[in-house]
Chains A and B, each alone.
Chain A
Amino acid sequence: ETGVTQSPTHLIKTRGQQVTLRCSSQSGHNTVSWYQQALGQGPQFIFQYYREEENGRGNFPPRFSGLQFPNYSSELNVNALELDDSALYLCASSQSGRAETQYFGPGTRLLVL
């Protein structure tokens, strides 16, 4: 098991609602990346936070936003939920973004009805 935790594990929302997902990074890691993984697909990069600042963003609309806190934990916020937002949301923490130090959490499974 990695030291990365995510909450909640599962979540059901309705279209138009807003959701906040949380991630606690592994001790010593200062970078958190968020990914969306649709069923049967590979994870898609949403954005990365390094020392509380956004450090790169994938092809996701502005209604996907995030925060990183001084303890390097992070939140992913999604506004105006759409049915296609149903997916597994993964966070990964690392030391300065180095892949060999990147550990993924177990994910939050979001279902939008």
Chain B
Amino acid sequence: GESVGLHLPTLSVQEGDNSIINCAYSNSASDYFIWYKQESGKGPQFIIDIRSNMDKRQGQRVTVLLNKTVKHLSLQIAATQPGDSAVYFCAEDRATGNQFYFGTGTSLTVIP
């Protein structure tokens, strides 16, 4: 079946380095994608989104890249900080009602 998935379950980076978290999706009809951050004991927090008519979108220290040809999404975090340690999920909107489907997640650990 169609699904949203992540390449790597865990990622460790040194404080100050850039982080890249990847996500593959298989539903070619999905046209809206979101990255969420989930800290321990909390619900997911919206980070950044991108529509399928865009290839790149930048926020504060974060950039999302979308490659529709290979159905791949990535989240880049610049100058990673200890507070960035969390699980990151990509999610896709498969229906018109903004019903989001999440991937498995990548756990990011920032080493001081």
| Smallest CB separation, A37 vs chain B (Å) | 8
Interface size class of A (residues with CB under 8 A): 20 to 34
Chain A residues whose CB sits within 8 angstroms of the CB of B102 once the complex forms? 35, 42-45
> Complex formed: what's the CA distance from A107 to B38 in Å?
12
Given A42-B89, A42-B104, A99-B32, are A92 and B98 also a contact pair (CB < 8 Å)?
A: no
Residues of A at the B interface (CB closer than 8 Å) are: 2, 4, 31, 33, 35, 40-45, 48, 50, 55-56, 58, 90, 92, 94, 97-100, 102-107
With A2-B43, A42-B102, A103-B43 known, 20 other A-B pairs at CB within 8 A are: A40-B104, A41-B105, A42-B4, A48-B97, A48-B99, A50-B97, A56-B99, A90-B43, A92-B43, A92-B44, A99-B34, A99-B46, A99-B93, A99-B100, A104-B42, A104-B45, A105-B43, A106-B41, A106-B43, A107-B43
Chain B residues whose CB sits within 8 angstroms of the CB of A56 once the complex forms? 95, 97, 99
Chain A residues whose CB sits within 8 angstroms of the CB of B104 once the complex forms? 40-42
Given A56-B99, A58-B99, are A104 and B43 also a contact pair (CB < 8 Å)?
A: yes
With an 8 Å Cβ cutoff, the count of chain B residues facing the other chain is 23
Give 1 or 0 for each of B70-105: 1 = CB within 8 Å of chain A CB: 000000000000000000010101010111111111
Contact B99 A100 (CB under 8 A): no
Beta-carbon nearest neighbor of A4 in chain B: B43
| B33-77, CB < 8 A from A | 34, 41-46, 49
> Complex formed: what's the CA distance from A35 to B99 in Å?
10
Beta-carbon nearest neighbor of A1 in chain B: B42
Chain B residues whose CB sits within 8 angstroms of the CB of A4 once the complex forms? 43
| Smallest CB separation, A46 vs chain B (Å) | 10
Beta-carbon nearest neighbor of B9 in chain A: A40
16 contacts between A and B (CB under 8 A): A33-B99, A42-B103, A43-B44, A43-B102, A44-B102, A45-B100, A45-B101, A56-B99, A90-B43, A90-B44, A92-B44, A99-B34, A99-B100, A100-B49, A105-B43, A106-B43
